[in-house]
Every structure is written in C-alpha cells, then in structure tokens.
C-alpha cells in the first residue's frame, strides 16, 4: 500500500517536472507519453506477443536449470568425491556473466527462435539454484540425520524424506533468486540474440528513437518481475516448514 503511494508520487512529480519544462522530453519523455505508448503497443497486441516470448524463454531456461541444478546440488552435497570433482569446475564457470555467453549462444542456436535466449536464461538460473540446493542439503542438522538412521531410514528415505524436505526452503529461495537473474538475462539476450521478446522490442524502438516505447518495455519488465517475485515469495511461505517468521 505504502509502495503504491511512492509509485504514484514519483509519476506525479515526473509528470509535473515535464510540464514545467524541467525535463527534456526527448531524453526522458513524460508519463503521459509513455502511457500513450503503452496503449499503442497493447492495442496492436505486440506488447503481449513480446511479453509471452520472453516469459516462455525464462520458463524453459528455468525449468531446465531446475532439472539440472537440484540433482547436482544434492549429489555434490552428499558425496565428498563428487564435490571435489564438481565444485572447482562450477566455481570457474560461475563468474562468467550470462551475457558473456551470448556470442556462443548465437553461434550454437542462431538468432531466430528462442534457443539462444533460453540458453542464456538457463546459465543465469543454474548457479543460484545449484548453490542453494547444495547448501540446503549441507545444512541438514546432525540430529535429523542421526534420528533418520536410528529409525531405520535407507538411502531413498534419507534423500526423499530428510534431505530434500530439509533443504526445500533453501531450494525455493534459490528458485526466487534464479528467476530474478533469469528475467534480467533474458532481456539482455534478446537485445542482441532474438527477433522477439521484450528485449528485442526495446532494442527495435531504440533504433527508431521511440523512447516512450522503450520505457514502456522497461516498465513491463519491472512490473512482470515484481509479480513473479511476489508469487514465488508466497510459494516460499507455503513450502517453508520453519515456524512463521515476520517478513519485512
């Protein structure tokens, strides 16, 4: 609620500043122009086409990252040998920003279709998920492991009834961080390596100096990111077995 007040306040003062001639409308167009660009993009349906294209890439990259990162994280956490082989490699790959993969992604997947941007999204989403799963499983309390073993748990139960549920709050947090990274990276990838998506829409409008439309794309990115984060925060609360914490 208070957040909404700040947003309105910013928009009102921005509009006022523009009307008073304090802002160069060429460099920073007023909200009214951006709003007009919104209705224009929305009416043509292109806004939704681009949004859907970006979302699809994020979801496919994120799902692939989930499928790869969670089992690897569990494996690395439960075996010292796997840890020794895997961690140095991953720690070397991790500092490479997802966008630095774009040249290779274009080479491998081409610029048409979704392959290149989905791949970039996968790279962005993989590491937070892997690290959170890994540390979640590593943080299992000694007493829970001992209890499980003295109650007769075999390997399967140790994994499914102890390790995974114990790590679940970590994994969901990892998912949230990954989604944020993935969303940022998909836009960056689309600036260069796509012919659709919000990033592409921004880049196209930039080349035509349609700054209000560029901002329309930026705001859509921000709002969508906000909604996704909020949804996953709810998920986090739903899947956390920890006693209710005061959030914020």
> What's the CA gap between 174 and 94, in Å, rounded?
15
Closest CA to 212 of 81, 47, 70: 47
Selected from 23, 64, 168, 218, the binder of another protein by CB under 8 A is 168
To another protein, the closest distance from the beta carbon of 140 in angstroms equals 9
Cβ nearer to another protein, comparing 166 with 196? 166
The nearest distance, CB 136 to another protein, in angstroms, is 12
Structure tokens at 107: 């080479």
* Residue window 214-243: x/- pattern of binding to another protein, with contact defined by CB under 8 A: ---------------------------xxx
CA distance 211 to 28: 8
Tell me the closest approach of the beta carbon of residue 142 to another protein, in angstroms: 6
Stretch that binds another protein, among 100-108, 165-173, 201-209, 215-223 (CB under 8 A): 165-173
196 neighbors 71 (Cβ within 8 angstroms):
no
- Sequence-separated (6 or more) residues with CB below 8 Å from residue 51: 198, 220, 224
Six token digits for residue 122: 């996968």
Q: What is the smallest separation between the CB atom of 137 and another protein, expressed in angstroms?
A: 11
Please, what is the minimum distance in Å from the beta carbon of residue 130 to another protein?
20
Which residues inside 135-164 make contact with another protein, applying CB under 8 A? Answer: 142-154, 157, 161-162
Output 48-53 pairs: Cβ under 8 A, ≥24 positions apart: 49/196, 50/196, 50/197, 50/198, 50/200, 50/201, 50/217, 51/198, 51/220, 51/224, 53/114, 53/190, 53/194, 53/196, 53/197, 53/198, 53/200
Nearer to another protein by Cβ, of 149 and 234: the residue is 149
Task: Provide CB contacts within 8 A for 247, sequence distance 6+.
Answer: 233, 237
**Tokens (6 digits) for 83:** 């840890």
Site string for another protein, 92-131 (x = CB under 8 A): ----------------------------------------
CB of 69 to another protein, least distance (A): 21
Site size for another protein (CB under 8 A): 22
**Cβ closer to another protein: 24 or 150?**
150
- Least distance to another protein from the beta carbon of 86, Å? 17
Binding-site ranges for another protein (CB under 8 A): 142-154, 157, 161-162, 165-166, 168, 241-243
């Amino acid at each position: 609620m208070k957040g909404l007040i700040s947003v309105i306040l910013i928009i009102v003062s921005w509009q006022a500043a523009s009307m008073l001639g304090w802002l160069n409308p060429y460099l920073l167009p007023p909200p009214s122009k951006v709003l007009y660009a919104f209705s224009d993009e929305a009416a043509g349906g292109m806004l939704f086409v681009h949004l859907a294209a970006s979302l699809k890439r994020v979801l496919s990259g994120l799902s692939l990252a989930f499928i790869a990162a969670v089992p690897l994280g569990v494996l690395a956490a439960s075996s010292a040998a796997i840890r020794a082989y895997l961690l140095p490699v991953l720690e070397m790959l991790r500092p490479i920003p997802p966008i630095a993969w774009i040249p290779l992604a274009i080479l491998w997947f081409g610029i048409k279709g979704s392959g290149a941007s989905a791949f970039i999204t996968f790279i962005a989403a993989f590491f937070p998920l892997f690290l959170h799963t890994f540390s979640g499983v590593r943080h299992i309390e000694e007493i829970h492991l001992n209890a499980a073993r003295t109650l007769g748990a075999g390997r399967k139960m140790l994994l499914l009834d102890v390790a995974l549920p114990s790590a679940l709050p970590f994994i969901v947090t990892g998912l949230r961080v990954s989604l944020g990274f993935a969303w940022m990276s998909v836009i960056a990838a689309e600036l260069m390596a796509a012919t659709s998506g919000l990033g592409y829409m921004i880049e196209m409008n930039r080349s035509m100096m349609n700054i209000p439309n560029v901002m329309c794309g930026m705001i859509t990115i921000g709002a969508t990111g906000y909604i996704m984060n909020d949804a996953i925060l709810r998920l986090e609360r739903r899947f956390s077995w920890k006693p209710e914490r005061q959030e914020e």
